[in-house]
Each structure stands twice: as structure tokens, then as C-alpha cells.
Structure 1
Amino acid sequence: MAEFEVPFGDGTVSVDLPECEVTVAEPSGGEAVDVRAAAEEALREPNGPELAELIDADDTVAIVVTDITRATPDDTLVDVLLSELQRVGVYREQVTIIVGLGLHRPMTDDELDEMLGEHADLAVNHDPEDTVKVGEIDGTPIELNRRVAMADRVLSTGMVEPHQYAGFSGGGKTVAIGAGGEPLIRYTHGPDMLSKGGVRLGRIEDNPFREAIDETGDLCGLDFCLNVTHGPAGILDVAAGLPRLVVRDLAESAQGALSVDIDGEYDAVVAGVGAPKDANLYQATRAATYVILGANNPLGDGGRVVIPAELPEGAGEGTGEKRFYKWLSGADSADALYEEMRSGYEPGAQRAFVVARALRNHDVYVTNSEAPDVVEECLMHARGSVEDAVDPGSDVLVVPDALNTLLR
């Protein structure tokens, strides 16, 4: 099959490589669930105590939700949580929704309306400058959003999906990173942590990054989370309760639905991303690092990753994205950048470090984008189409949903 489609923005882009041998890596994908029904069931049978056992009627509640970079159905999850809270006597006036931005850009009012619907009026963007210290890990101060720290109870939503460092995202990460301060991001995303054994895509057991995030979630007072996992079919599973147990439960579901066994070595991998991750280069490069630095790199010597991505935001507009761009655009080579960054960098710049690590061995081409100049400035190659980025006669592996496929 030389003709195929891969995600691009909110749609797809068609590709035709008639002179290439093309293999498509598509995981089983699982079966989509009805999110509301599954979330309500998860609250009835949580991993640990029921929400009603944890909350009193006069409690104030902070719900930390994911931001626009995660395709989490927060409108439904928040609505289900608020209904359950009301059932135990906690009304919406007692609830604040904090958007866990980390160092990403604030969400606009229109984006909040689209994400949270009728509950957008309860939402505020996390401000990493407005935090309080709640503890320490290895001498690193743990800072938490002031509104979250002041709440009697802390809940969160989240997406348990493959993550370059945490193995899988979700659980305590939504609060610890999303509603935290720079010191923890500096500690967890620094070169020492990211170079440790066990810090890898798809692994949660014996993963120092995951362990640090879980411990920090405890320090932040995260009492209960409602998380989902997804795949090509949509939302595959929902779990609620204690964060560690929720992540373990949903990671198991994701592993079964998203893993693909790969044999042989390829000249090129066409890695699909799509919205919301292809809004900027910072997020879209996850496709390349997931392929190159995953459990099984399918590329042979000289192989390349090709990523169709819209990039309407260029490199990205948040603090982390700007730092990513600064490091990559100011570098002469991937090797030199990697060696320089091994001595340290600012929070948010870790994606430049990981991209440099991947680029030492393989080229990355970004096609069809609105920001080709930004791509070229960042040690990568811009092309008008996938066809322009793949040499005739190449052996090509297509990973339509690269951020939700585990190659093994």
C-alpha cells in the first residue's frame, strides 16, 4: 500500500509513495467507550475510597484539569465530578477549576469555553508565579498553585497516555507539574533525571521520573483523580480513585491497545500527530522522540522521521516552548547542543535536550507546515509534503498515531 492518510490538524493529509515499500503500524486500538457512562461507573467503583468518603459538605474543592495540549474530555469529566460532589453536599460555588498549564501558554476564554462548556466560569489558568511551598523532594522545593494549596480537597482529571519520561502521563502529574512551580520541573526534567535508567516511554515500574511525580502528588494533597486513556478509536477506558492505582490500571489498558511489534529496519518513519499536538513544534516533535527513543527504534542507519504538522503557533507560545526554540535555534549542531545541555538548562527546555539527543542519530523532517522557517532554524528540515521528504525506493514505516503507538 503506497497510498495512505495520516492525521494533520483536525483532518488528514493524503500521501502517495508509489516507488516505496510501505508498512503501516496500527495497534489494535481497542474499543471506544461512552465517556460519561464509564466515568460514572468509575466513580461508583474507584481504585480506593469513594469520593463521598473523602469529602465533607463544607469543603472547598480544587479540580486541576489538563490544558489544550491534552485531548482529555474535561467537559464531561468535570461535569461528572461536579454532579458527584453535589450529591454529597458540595455545590459548584465551593469549587475552583485550575487549568494545569505547567509552563505552557494560558488558555483563552474561547478555548476554556470549548473545553469546559457550562463550567468554564469556574476555571482559572495556573500561574507558576503564584505558588506556595508545600514540601521538598531531594532538597527541591515543591511549589503548588496557591488556590490549590488553599483548598480543603484536591481532585484532578487527566490523560494516561504514553509519555517520554513518566512512562505514562496522568495521576499525580496533572497537579504536580500542571499546577506546580519551576523548581520541580527543573528537577524532574533536568539532564540528571532524564539520563537515569528506567526513565522511558511506556514504563511506570521502577521509573524514577514516575516515582518523583507520584511522591509530589502526595505532597500536593491530591486526594482523588478521574483519568482516561485513549487510542485511535477514541477514549478506551476510564478509572477513578487513588492516583497511583488509576495510572497503573489505565496504563495496562493502553499497553494492550497501543502496542505494535516491529521487525526490521526502515529508511523512513512517517509519524502522524494531528490536533492538538501539531499546533506547535514543541509538541509535534514528540512524534520523533517517541519513535527514536522508544523501546524499539525501527530506523536503520541514516533513517529519518517525517512529521506532517500544521504548526499555526510556530515553535509555541508558552515559556517552555520559547525556551525550547531558543536552545535549538541557537545551536550549530545536535551533538554540540546535547553536550552543552548536559550541564543544565531552564525548565521547559528539556524538549530541546531530548530532541537534540534524537537528532544525533537521525534527521527529522516536518512537512506541510505553516512555519517552515522555524523548523529549519531548529536543526530540522522543512518540506512542502511528505513525498518531498521521503527518498524514492525507501522502505517506509507509517505510524498514523505516533503519540499513541508503542513500538516494541
Structure 2
Amino acid sequence: MFLIKLPYHKTYLDLPLEPGPKVRLLTPENHEYTPDGTQEEIVRRALANPIASPPLSELVKGKKNIVIISSDHTRPVPSHINIPLMLEEIKKGNPDADVTILVATGMHRPTTDEELLAKFGQKVVDEVKIVNHLSEKDEDMAFLGILPSGGELWVNKLAVEADLLLADGFIEPHFFAGFSGGRKSVLPGVASRKTVMYNHNSTFISSPYARTGNLENNPIHRDMLFAAEKAKLAFVLNVVINAKKEIIYAVAGHTVEAHLKGCAFVRELVAAKPIPGDIVISTNGGYPLDQNLYQAVKGMTAAEATAKPGAVIIMVAGCSDGLGGEDFYHQLADFPSPQAAMDTFLSTAKEDTPADQWESQILCRMLIKYKVIMVSDPKLAGRFRDMHLDYAETLEEALTMAKAIKGDDAEITVIPDGVGVIVG
């Protein structure tokens, strides 16, 4: 017997399995990457060597109103390292600049004071103005034109009216935008609700190009690039983190060029070949990415990419913040089957896309093909079942359920970090 440790909330669950040829671990081929320097040294080096851009200390000269878009509480961006170093560069070039941090909540709830403190640290919270983006406040938005897809582009006025717009974030595989980071700080980060919903419409979500690790011909990515350009996002600091949420790589500079270099690094770092399994076990990498079911769909897509037809997927996610929204819940629970829900999604016009339909659609895509068993908070068991998911309180129980369907000799594939791998 050997143990595989799977991230779960802020701890780990032990998965006891008998070793053998039918139990395989799917991890990135380069997962043992060793960074050169401390986290702070890595970020400083990136800021000192910007890609296709003057240094930040030069860009800020003559700029009075500077806005930094920063990821919210659902993203494990080490902003307590990034933001102070960005502020240091800003003060070096323009000590009198007025700096605002605009929290890129996208369609999520506002980040709480406690979460802001944990994210940025006491000094930043005390000394810098921090504002939560609220996507539903139309009065806070400015119109910037028509997206390549045909939707209206509305972006937070704080970003649009800045003399210089910056962003900090991180790059990881993203299940329909290809990769996170870069242009994503603007759309969906600080865009209006209606803009996000149009960009995340069912036609785009079902596109074969809107997949993990793919940017080419990706219609969602195309809109995002347009939004970042129109908002004049001038400079980004994007980091790459390991399973311990530690910075191992960083890029800074031009919004597109720096991001592409970071994506290339991530692709090489986390690429993995499929290991087809009858039972596939995945996670969302632990807290904060596994804090609700909505986010956990991302880790499920890694399992989807390596599951055999008719496989059972076991998803390990703490879901300390619940499901992730009532709209998300009802978009599955209110239908007799996942297929019935999918039929509704696909018949919905782009301009009528409701909140969270994109996440529900991807989850439905998997539920139509596979049985999905959640290992999560027992308080959510009934609601999971309402949404056509199965539930098990422990990994052992989930495996027993899965083997009852696929047999004791089923081939098992384990993905310790479903959001940290590109399977293909």
C-alpha cells in the first residue's frame, strides 16, 4: 500500500492505493523544476528585465493616476510579494503618483477586508487605496467599442480613466481561455457583467479551440486581447507558481509579449501525456482554487482529457465557500438531466447568456459523458446530487462507488493537481 497526498482546502487527503500497473500518476513531465533564486529575487529580476517594454520606473514618469489591476480572493496570486515590488518601482520613478489597486473580481463576489489583508499585507492595505470591481454597477463602466465577437465592451471607469494601467497576476492553464494572466485582467477581470456574459457565450464555450492551453483561434482569447488593448493595459507582472503556491518564474512588460513568454514557459512546465483511465481522480490544487464547486469544474476538465469513454471521475475539492452561486446551482438542478440543461444552453442567444452558464455548460459536457463523484464538504451532499453529481464523504468511499461501476480491475489515473497540468 502507498499513499498519494491530494490537496484539499488548506490541507491534504491521503489516497491509499495498492501499487501496480493499473494505478498511474498523471503529473507534468517537468514538475521537479527548481527556480533560480528566492520568490522576491525572481520578481525583481523580471521587473528589471521587462519584455518589449521600458522599465516600470520609466513608464510611470509624468503619470499622476496609476491603477494596478490585481486578482481577487479566488486566485492564489502572491500579491503580497508582487504589489510591494511594483509599488517600489512606481515610487522610484514617480514618488508623487496616486496609486489605486482595482481588484479584478470579474463576476465573483467582492473580496472581503479580511481577504484583502491576507492577500496584500497590512502595509499595502494601510497605505494604498483598494477598490473592488463590481461588474453589475453599470454606472461604474465606460464603453470602449464592439468586441470582435460582436458584443459591447464595457470596462470599469477606474481602469479606463487611469493615466497608466498596470496588472499583476499569474499564469496557469485555463480550461476555456487557454491560459490565465495577461489580458484576462481586463476581461473578465474588470469588465461589466454584460460584456463577460457575451464573451462567455455557449457557442464560444463549445468551440474546439476554447480549451486548456490553447490560444490559437480561440474566440474567447481574441475578445480578451481586444479588451486589454482598448483599455490600454500598458504593463503586466505575471508569475508562475508551484503546488506550494510559491513563485518559481515571472515575466514583466508588454501585455501581449510578456504574457506569451510566460505561457510558453507554463506549457513546457506542465505538459503531460494522457494516461487513459476507467477511474480518474483529480483535484483543484487546494485552497483557494477549490473553495467552491464553480471553480472545481476546472480541475475536472483535466480528468475529462484523460478519461476513457464511460469513465468515473472522482473530484476532490473542499468547497469551503459552497457551490459558487445560486445561478450556477439552478442551471443544473432545475433540469431533469444534464442533457436537458445542455439543450437549453446551446439554444440561448449570445446576447442573452445568463451568469455562470459557461461553467454549467462545461460541467454538463462532462456529466453527459461520465459519472462524477464529489469528495467534499458533507453539508453540500444534497445540493451536489440536485446538480446530477454523486457524493462521497471520503476517498475510500468514492473508490468503492467507482469500482462498483467499473470493476475491481479498473485502471485508475490520479491527477494530484488538475488545474496545474495541460493534458494532451
Counterparts of 2:53 and 2:45, CA distance in 1: 14
**Could you tell me which of 122, 132, 141 is aligned with 1:125?**
132
**Paired residues for 1:101-112 under 5 Å:** 101-112=105-116
Structure 2: runs of 5+ lacking an equivalent: none
Equivalent in the alignment of 2:392: 383
Equivalent in the alignment of 2:310: 302
Report deviation, 1:57.
3.6
Counterparts of 1:196 and 1:262, CA distance in 2: 21
Structure 1: runs of 5+ lacking an equivalent: none
**Paired residues for 1:145-224 under 5 Å:** 145-224=156-235
Give the residue type in structure 2 aligned to 1:148. Answer: A
**Paired residues for 1:225-244 under 5 Å:** 225-232=236-243, 234-244=246-256
Is 2:303–2:415's contact at 8 Å kept on the other side of the alignment?
A: no
Which has the higher mean CA deviation after the structures are superposed, 27-36 or 371-380?
27-36
Cα deviations across residues 89-127 of structure 1 (Å, max 9, x unaligned)? 1446x0000110011011110110010112124211111
**Could you tell me which of 343, 364, 369 is aligned with 1:339?**
343
Give the residue type in structure 1 aligned to 2:34. Answer: E
After TM superposition, the score normalised by the length of structure 2 is 0.89
Equivalent in the alignment of 1:393: 409
Is 2:24–2:412's contact at 8 Å kept on the other side of the alignment?
A: yes
Counterparts of 1:160 and 1:19, CA distance in 2: 34
Matching of residue 67 in structure 1 with residue 83 in structure 2: no
Matching of residue 285 in structure 1 with residue 297 in structure 2: yes
**Paired residues for 1:34-73 under 5 Å:** 34-50=38-54, 51-73=56-78
Report deviation, 1:403.
0.5
Is 1:314–1:374's contact at 8 Å kept on the other side of the alignment?
A: no
Is 1:230–1:254's contact at 8 Å kept on the other side of the alignment?
A: no
Is 1:66–1:158's contact at 8 Å kept on the other side of the alignment?
A: yes
Equivalent in the alignment of 1:81: 86
**Paired residues for 1:263-282 under 5 Å:** 263=275, 265-273=276-284, 274-282=286-294
Counterparts of 1:115 and 1:52, CA distance in 2: 24
Q: Secondary structure at the match of 2:182?
A: coil
Which has the higher mean CA deviation after the structures are superposed, 151-160 or 25-34?
25-34
Counterparts of 2:347 and 2:189, CA distance in 1: 25
Cα deviations across residues 199-245 of structure 1 (Å, max 9, x unaligned)? 21101233222121111101111111100122336322100111111
Give the residue type in structure 2 aligned to 1:137. Answer: L
Q: Secondary structure at the match of 2:15?
A: strand
How many residue pairs align between the two structures? 398
Counterparts of 2:291 and 2:200, CA distance in 1: 22
Cα deviations across residues 355-377 of structure 1 (Å, max 9, x unaligned)? 10111101111114242122111
Counterparts of 1:115 and 1:108, CA distance in 2: 10
Equivalent in the alignment of 1:372: 381
Report deviation, 1:35.
2.4
Counterparts of 1:104 and 1:193, CA distance in 2: 21
Matching of residue 23 in structure 1 with residue 33 in structure 2: no
Give the residue type in structure 1 aligned to 2:310. Answer: G
Counterparts of 1:372 and 1:300, CA distance in 2: 26
Cα deviations across residues 342-365 of structure 1 (Å, max 9, x unaligned)? 122313221001110111101111
Equivalent in the alignment of 1:10: 10
Give the residue type in structure 1 aligned to 2:27. Answer: E
Is 1:47–1:239's contact at 8 Å kept on the other side of the alignment?
A: yes
Is 1:2–1:22's contact at 8 Å kept on the other side of the alignment?
A: no
Give the residue type in structure 2 aligned to 1:239. Answer: V
Matching of residue 404 in structure 1 with residue 420 in structure 2: yes
Counterparts of 2:113 and 2:52, CA distance in 1: 35
Q: Secondary structure at the match of 1:133?
A: strand
Report deviation, 1:19.
9.0
**Could you tell me which of 106, 112, 117 is aligned with 1:113?**
117
Matching of residue 352 in structure 1 with residue 353 in structure 2: no
Which has the higher mean CA deviation after the structures are superposed, 24-33 or 324-333?
24-33
Q: Secondary structure at the match of 1:154?
A: strand
Equivalent in the alignment of 1:256: 268
Is 1:57–1:90's contact at 8 Å kept on the other side of the alignment?
A: no
RMSD: 1.8
> How much identity, in percent, do the aligned residues show?
25
1:197–1:260 distance in 2 versus 1, CA, 3 Å? closer
Counterparts of 1:231 and 1:19, CA distance in 2: 26
